[in-house]
Amino acid sequence: MNIANFLQRSGRMYHDSYALALGSKAIATYGQLSSRAAKLAGTLLETLNLAAGDRVAIIAKNVPEYLEIIYGCWHAGLIIVPINAKLHANEYSYILRDSGARLCFLSDDLSFSSKSIDGPDLEKVIKIGTPTYDELFECEEVQIASRHGDMIAWIFYTSGTTGQPKGAALTHRNLLAMCHCYFTDVDCEGVSKAILHVAPMSHGSGLYSLAHIMQGRVNVFPESGGFDVQEVFKLITSWPNVVFFAAPTMIKWLVESKIRADTDNLKTIIYGGGPMYLDDLKAGLKRFGAKFSQLYGQGETPMTITSMNERIHAENTHPRWESRMMSVGTPQSAVEVKVVNQSGAELEVGETGEIIVRGDTVMSGYWNNDYASEQTLRDGWLYTGDNGFFDEDGFLTLQGRSNDLIISGGTNIYPRELEELLVAHADVSEVSVIGKPDPEWGEAVVAYLVLARGVELDAAGLDQFCIDNIARFKRPKHYRVVTELPKNNYGKVLKTRLREIETNRNDVS
């Protein structure tokens, strides 16, 4: 089952219906999009000499071409590697090397040079929107490549506790099951007609585009290429029954905006990717009404662990409504979810343990990383590394992350990656990175530093060092200088103690 069939089917059924829009203007029908994907597949196979199973990377802002690239690659039997456009060139290069990508599509408006990214297998970088890109669609249409459900379609790179990204290998079957969950568990109250792509296409918004392609709905891309508060309100007025996926931080910005646009067209805001505080959710419900649906997932089981739909958000007379709003909902229909202790035994209601997941949405493993796969996938279950508990109604509440993951603005940040970078700076002797609650970003990155002898803190210099080597959003928001880091008898830094110290600080900096 090649999921490229989604587009081919819609190209026939909804031939003259609009598939793509840029801002408030529709720009391509399903017939046109399907044809372009089939032509691109021909060029990839016959002119660029790619073969089924080869990897093709995409580093791009949210542009309409994203979907014709994805489906053109799948039509040809290729594997896509979407990469967050906010990463640093060093991080792009690592992912390109690890995935063995032979071809990379690149946004023409990204600030770095294509010469700054590399990979041993990378043969060509093509900038989207250029004459070279346009020439890719001059080939004849070709037949969809045959792929069975357990073949890999999408490699989603998510950082690990070692600091190096790991590629979650998602199969055609995984993505099909995810789409079924979308309609059954997430966007299941009424019918949406369009999806607005304001969150990165390399992540949740791109994944949810598949369900909308399946149903012949309009994929709306903002002219800014991403999230802009004023533009979001404008586009809501332009597209009836529109949904969009957003991180809680984005929703907070929308709620706090002084813009008072008509939002009657808004059907649903789907949120996930970070903690949504109860007060912020209440403010969102007051501003937009009961038009929210929540999901909890990981790259290893994309968007598909638990969910909480619009109906549950609207039931504010329920005696446990507030506790439900602080949860991440109930297990989605394609998965089994358990909370277990360290021995793997299932825990009772109310007991906190590690969350594990089993089902057709769970990845086949990490690309080129058998060790990490064996650690994460055990006896058919995905061990998430997240801790939580179930209540008596089956609602799951998260209690923390055993792997010390920091989620800031809906984006995963792993301490080890920052620690390895900062300790390489001449001014830094030791470092430990933690997260602290932040009302705007969900969590903020805090670096505790033991400086080299005779050195004073140069926060601006450390900031620039981070910016020169990793994505800007990963750098610490706060630097704390200490004479020594708290450690146990084995020399391991006690992050729990650092969190206590941070919580007990008197200042708010």
- Read out DSSP for 261-317? ---TTEEEEEE-SS---HHHHHHHHHHH-S-EEEEEEETTEEEEEEEE-HHHHH-TT
CA distance 270 to 181: 13
Q: Are strands 25-29 and 18-22 parallel, antiparallel or unpaired?
A: antiparallel
* Count of domains observed in the chain: 2
Nearest by Cα to 349 from 395, 389, 399: 389
Q: Do 217 and 297 sit in the same domain of this protein?
A: yes
Please tell me the predicted confidence (pLDDT) of residue 490: 46
Q: What is the pLDDT of residue 251?
A: 93
Instruction: Give me the tens of pLDDT residue by residue for the chain, a chain 509 residues long.
Output: 899 999 999 999 999 999 999 999 999 999 999 999 999 999 999 999 999 999 999 999 999 999 999 999 999 999 999 999 888 888 899 999 999 999 999 998 776 666 677 778 899 999 999 999 999 999 999 999 999 999 999 999 985 434 578 999 999 999 999 999 999 999 998 889 999 999 999 999 999 999 999 999 999 999 999 999 999 999 999 999 999 999 988 998 999 899 989 999 999 999 998 778 788 899 999 999 999 999 999 999 999 999 999 999 999 999 999 999 999 999 999 999 999 998 999 999 999 889 999 999 999 999 999 999 999 999 999 999 988 899 999 999 987 666 677 888 888 787 878 887 898 899 998 899 999 999 888 999 999 999 999 999 999 999 999 999 999 999 999 999 999 999 864 466 888 889 999 998 855 55
pLDDT on residue 223: 96
In a domain, 493, yes or no: yes
What angle separates helix 65-75 from helix 204-214, to the nearest 10 degrees? 70
Domain boundary among 390, 425, 448: 390
pLDDT score of 193: 95
Q: How far apart are CA 393 and CA 391, in angstroms?
A: 5
Is 414 found in the same domain as 378? no
* Residue in the block written with tokens 């399907």: 34
Q: Is residue 400 part of a domain?
A: no
For residue 114, the model assigns a pLDDT of 64
Closest CA to 227 of 207, 259, 254: 254
Same domain, 55 and 140: yes
221 and 140 belong to one structural domain: yes
Q: Which of 357, 390, 423 is the last residue of a domain?
A: 390
Statement to judge: residues 303 and 214 lie in one domain: yes
CATH number, position 377: 3.40.50.12780
216 and 331, same domain (yes or no): yes
Asked whether residue 401 is assigned to any structural domain, the reply reads no
Domain for residue 302, yes or no? yes
Residues 185 and 317 occupy one common structural domain: yes
Q: Identify the CATH number of the domain in which residue 435 sits.
A: 3.30.300.30
Task: Give dist(CA 74, CA 50) in Å, integer.
Answer: 12
Cβ(239)–Cβ(196) below 8 Å: yes
Domain enclosing residue 284, as ranges: 5-390
Give the distance from CA 251 to its chain's centroid. Answer: 16
CB 236 within 8 A of CB 24: no
Nearest Cα to 362, choosing from 305, 400, 410, 308?
305
Residues 384 and 412 in one domain: no
233 and 271 both lie in a single domain: yes
Query: Do residue 106 and residue 131 come from a single domain?
Result: yes
What Å distances lie between residue 505 and 143, 189, 336, 469, CA to CA? 63, 45, 41, 30
**Alpha-helical regions (H) of 76-203:** 89-99, 131-134, 172-181
Q: Are residues 207 and 96 in the same domain?
A: yes
- Which of 365, 390, 415 terminates a domain? The answer is 390
Q: Is residue 411 domain-shared with residue 448, that is, in the same domain?
A: yes
Which contacts (CB < 8 Å, 24+ apart) does range 160-163 have?
Answer: 160/372, 160/414, 161/403, 161/404, 161/414, 161/416, 162/416, 163/414, 163/416, 163/417, 163/418, 163/419, 163/420
In a domain, 397, yes or no: no
In-domain check, residue 398: no
* pLDDT, position 329: 97
| Residue 337, domain member (yes or no) | yes
Residue 292 lies in a domain: yes
